[in-house]
Amino acid sequence: SDLSRLSEIDKSLAVFCMATYGEGDPTDNAQDFYDWLQEADADLSGLRFAVFGLGNKTYEHFNAMGKYVDKRLEELGAQRIFELGLGDDDGNLEEDFITWREQFWPAVCEHFGVEATGEESSIRQYELVVHTDVNMNKVYMGEMGRLKSYENQKPSTPCLSGSWPVLAGRLASLKSLMVLVFHLLSSCSHARYESGDHVAVYPANDSSLVNQIGEILGTNLDTIMSLNNLDEESNKKHPFPCPTSYRTALTYYLDITNPPRTNVLYELAQYATDAGEQERLRKMASSAAEGKALYLSWVVEARRNILAILQDMPSLRPPIDHLCELLPRLQARYYSIASSSKVHPNAIHICAVAVEYETKTGRLNRGVATNWLKNKIPNENGNNSLVPMYVRKSQFRLPFKPSTPVIMIGPGTGIAPFIGFIQERAWLKQQGKEVGETVLYYGCRREREDYLYREELARFRQEGVLTQLNVAFSRDQAEKVYVQHLLKKNKENIWKLVNEGNAHIYVCGDARNMARDVQNVFYEIVAEFGNMSQPQAMDYVKKLMTKGRYSLDVWS
């Protein structure tokens, strides 16, 4: 609402960094702005702006939000100072931004008739305050929202503070596949979910990584401190909840496992006492081709996290408070819910694969959330652990009429939401409702090693809830067989369900290859049986998506 008044400030400029989520949607914190832009008839003629979009090319609606905001602001009379930048997270988002920024500043200087000094300076955003005499009840211990929110739940936070015990984790087969059941605490009764929703889990970093960072930097990790914003006008008072200890910050609030971005390396370079190491860090943070290549090979491809960088650069010993200021926040991890609230009103099921791999430097890297969850699985004593999480609503929904057929395609852990769907269809059938055909296409590598929910699916099939169970085992024979091959094999049946039965299609899992390959098969089926050209078939499938009859829940 203040945008139209920005012109009152001399030489003002608004820069919009717009991420795209899901099927070309705005992120949660941009939803109100997006709604306002769509309805607004404001006159933004005095506004000068530039937009940088954050997207991922593996998704169909690449950078839809960035493109929309750039176009809409101009339509409302605002003046574009520099062209739209399109960052691609499938490549190197950081690099795309730096390339855009390098041309952005000269354009800004030219527009406003100012000269750039050409000097990049390092300015701290926060100042360190160490608390020697502090009431421990006022110290954050890992809470995401209110202080002590894990101890006294309030319905006002959408279970952002909700800690739910892991009830009955069971390791499905040997291949680090987990099926976890979270029992909702009674104080979290407001955390209602529907089949197809996601659950966000707030994980914690491995304590051994945290301890090693503390040792390398020679720090007492239990020091209680605050990082206070030097800009008193800023809404963001601290980079993470403060006061807290370095141990808590590195465990619950900061991302210490992902390869650091180039801006972090640039800021850290000043602390390397060895000239060669300092130059190497500066080079990797530069926009020179040689520097970009070095960053890609030495940091990204070698999967070096901040600990590995400190280990491999013995002269680099930054103050821990500046490191905590620079590291990004540890993000919640989202999982598709693998249960139906009609059948399990007080529990949420998820399935996940514990990520573990060896890097090019011979280090063992582990997925933060999956390994943290793995350690939460109750032992023989049955001791329950608490997991902070909340439910995120999704557009991935069963058809309103139970009699509508559904075609579900979900290889690997992409099967998760469909277990909830099938449970719900079984429940509807028990209630005496007429339930349409329920068809599943599932895939995994080997039948004996990683066939998730084998017994449950066999039971559903036997009971007639699951009309068809089509499973592709990609590694059990000479030629690889994937779900898209099975779809092709049953193309006549698929077309009949879609064309005559008005079936709803659901795809869940890998966006990069599977979702795209499946969509291409649907184009082929529609073209062949609907007697259409390729462009017409593509348009037909796009219309199914618009009508909510072809839904995607995919990740890359």
- Mind listing the pLDDT tens digit for each residue in 254-280? 999 999 999 899 999 999 999 999 999
Angle subtended by helix axes 31-39 and 64-75, to nearest 10 = 40
Set 336, 340, 341, 551: catalytic member: 336
pLDDT the model gives residue 49? 96
To the query of whether residue 41 is one of the catalytic residues in this protein, the response is: no
Q: How far apart are the first and last CA of the chain?
A: 35
Set 96, 321, 510, 553: catalytic member: 553
**Distance between CA atoms of 552 and 556, rounded to whole angstroms?**
13
**Distance between CA atoms of 113 and 263, rounded to whole angstroms?**
28
CA dist 333 to 160, 199, 321, 369, 393, Å?
Answer: 13, 8, 26, 7, 14
**Distance between CA atoms of 410 and 483, rounded to whole angstroms?**
8
Question: From the first residue on, what is the mean pLDDT of each consecutive set of 10 residues in the chain (556 residues)?
Answer: 86 95 86 91 91 91 96 95 94 85 92 80 88 92 79 49 40 61 71 90 95 98 97 92 97 97 93 97 91 93 97 98 97 94 91 91 95 80 75 91 97 94 97 97 88 92 96 85 93 97 95 91 97 96 94 87
pLDDT the model gives residue 160? 36
Angle subtended by helix axes 516-529 and 491-499, to nearest 10 = 80
To the query of whether residue 208 is one of the catalytic residues in this protein, the response is: no
Task: Report the b/e string of 22-37 with b at 16+ CB within 10 A.
Answer: bebebeeebeebbeeb
Task: Report the b/e string of 485-494 with b at 16+ CB within 10 A.
Answer: bbbeebbebb
**Distance between CA atoms of 495 and 501, rounded to whole angstroms?**
9
Helices marked H in 53-118: 64-75, 93-112
- Cα dihedral across residues 4, 98, 32, 60: positive or negative: positive
pLDDT the model gives residue 151? 67
User: If you search the block for the tokens 């059941």, which residue do you land on?
Assistant: 181
**Distance between CA atoms of 241 and 145, rounded to whole angstroms?**
8
To the query of whether residue 286 is one of the catalytic residues in this protein, the response is: no
Set 372, 444, 508, 510: catalytic member: 508
- 163, 387 in Cβ contact below 8 A? yes
pLDDT the model gives residue 383? 65
**Distance between CA atoms of 456 and 434, rounded to whole angstroms?**
22
To the query of whether residue 555 is one of the catalytic residues in this protein, the response is: yes
pLDDT the model gives residue 178? 81
Task: Give the dihedral of Cα atoms 356, 362, 363, 368; nearest 10 deg.
Answer: -20
pLDDT the model gives residue 173? 41
pLDDT the model gives residue 346? 85
| Residues forming a β-bridge with 41 | none
What domains sit in the chain, N to C, each tagged with a CATH number?
A: 2-112 (3.40.50.360), 167-202+332-392 (2.40.30.10), 207-326 (1.20.990.10), 406-554 (3.40.50.80)
